[in-house]
Each structure stands twice: as structure tokens, then as C-alpha cells.
Amino acid sequence: MKRLTMLSSEFLRRLRTVTLVCLAGLISWLAIASQPAYAANADRTSAPAVDQAMTQEPRDQAYEEALEVIDDPNGVQKNYQENLKQFRQENPSQKEGLVEEAKGLVDKVTPGRK
């Protein structure tokens, strides 16, 4: 009888240990699984929507200008040159970029081609 009591107490102690380990594992998995849910609750009102920020008129005007540039065969190149001139006027302190230097080298190597 004494041996049976000893075995049952040993069994209950091991069962309690296994149960606690399983419970700790389950709790840790549940804690990890709930972490990505916090990202879904982010406040989305911080940045205004594009439709609220822009009125209809500037969008239509920009669309018409883009159509004019695309319809002209050399329109994209002309638009790029105009934007480049405007940038250089606004930022005279910046030196020529790597692309402009490469263009200059290509022009030196192939002088007859333009």
C-alpha cells in the first residue's frame, strides 16, 4: 500500500510537470500568434487621401499637359530638357551629375554624331 501511494504521488507530480510545460508552450504560441494583429489597428487617418488633397482642376491640367508631351514625337525629350534647365537655374551650386559627364565623354569620343 505504501508503494502504491508512493507511485501515485510520483505519477501526479510528473503529470503536473508535463501539464505545466504544455500550458507554458500553449501560452507562448498564443502570445506569438496575436502579435501581427496589432499592425491591423494602425491609425489610417494620419495621411489625407489623394482625392482630398488634390482638386479636380490641377489633375485635369496635368493630364492635358502629359497628353501634349506624349503626342509630340520629341515631346518627352523636350520636356526633359526644359525640366533640366529649370533644375539647373534653381540649383546652380550643384555640379554636373554623372550622367552629364558621361554624355560629355561620349560626345568627345563621337564628335560627328549628335
Among 11-15, 53-57, 73-77, 103-107, name the one with the lowest average pLDDT.
Answer: 53-57
> Which stretches within the chain are classed as H helix?
2-34, 50-53, 56-71, 75-90, 98-109
For the record, the C-alpha cell of 65 comes out as: 499637359
Q: Which residue reads 569620343 in cell numbers?
A: 109
Q: Which residue reads 501539464 in cell numbers?
A: 19
Contact 85, 91 (CB under 8 A): no
Chain CA centroid to CA 43, Å: 17
In this predicted structure, what is the pLDDT of residue 21? 93
In this predicted structure, what is the pLDDT of residue 17? 94
Rounded CA-CA distance 49/36 in Å is 25
> How much is the pTM?
0.34
pLDDT tens digit sequence for 42-74: 555 555 555 555 566 788 888 888 888 888 888
Contact 72, 78 (CB under 8 A): yes
Asked if the model's pLDDT at residue 107 lies above 90, the reply is no
For the record, the C-alpha cell of 15 comes out as: 503529470
